[in-house]
Chains A and B, each alone.
Chain A
């Protein structure tokens, strides 16, 4: 079975500071990994995905994530936080050949302070 663990349910950064949101996965087969963002009372928007093509994945809004098999991690980073980045972020895993069914982490609420 696949699962993801997001360390830190709340992260607070200053505007302009580095954003680092942590995600570790567990999968018995090579996984597909995703980061989604959710604004209040909205659905989820895909930030980026890892599908084994390249270990460093660039996404929208300046976000990127690096797949590290040895650490079973897929942490999300952004060099400089903007106020508009304040939202909830979800890491998710899908099993290859599993119909794209996603298993989500519990989410990390990102707060950006002036």
Chain B
């Protein structure tokens, strides 16, 4: 297993378009997280799944954002009607169950909305 993989690495889109990102976690990890990182800031939590159940969503996740993990394996994050303020790095992470296990991060998808 080569770690958490995200696709695409870079995405440029026009304002108003919809975009979808994919994350493939480490295969034995049942927890999957999405974070957003803007320039000069630390990552901010968006949402997380345990298996296929979405257990928590941040208030940052507006109605235009939706995330799924249909079979408890890969996850997708969709942003509808993109705005310039959505430009950021979107990071996916996964971890095993257990309180102290660390999260492993993918390389991120950098979104630029023009």
Contacts and interface: CB of A to CB of B under 8 A. Distances in A.
B45 A102 contact: yes
Contacts of B27: none
A97 B50 CA distance: 13
Interface string B46-83: 00101000011000000000000000000000000000
Contact of A101 (B48, B100, B105, B110): B48
Given A100-B31, A102-B45, A104-B44, A46 B56 contact: no
B91 interface: yes
A103 B110 contact: no
A41 B95 CA distance: 22
Given A44-B91, A104-B43, A107-B42, 20 more contacts: A32-B100, A41-B110, A43-B6, A43-B91, A43-B105, A43-B106, A43-B108, A44-B43, A46-B102, A49-B100, A49-B102, A90-B42, A97-B99, A99-B55, A100-B33, A100-B101, A100-B103, A102-B103, A105-B42, A106-B41
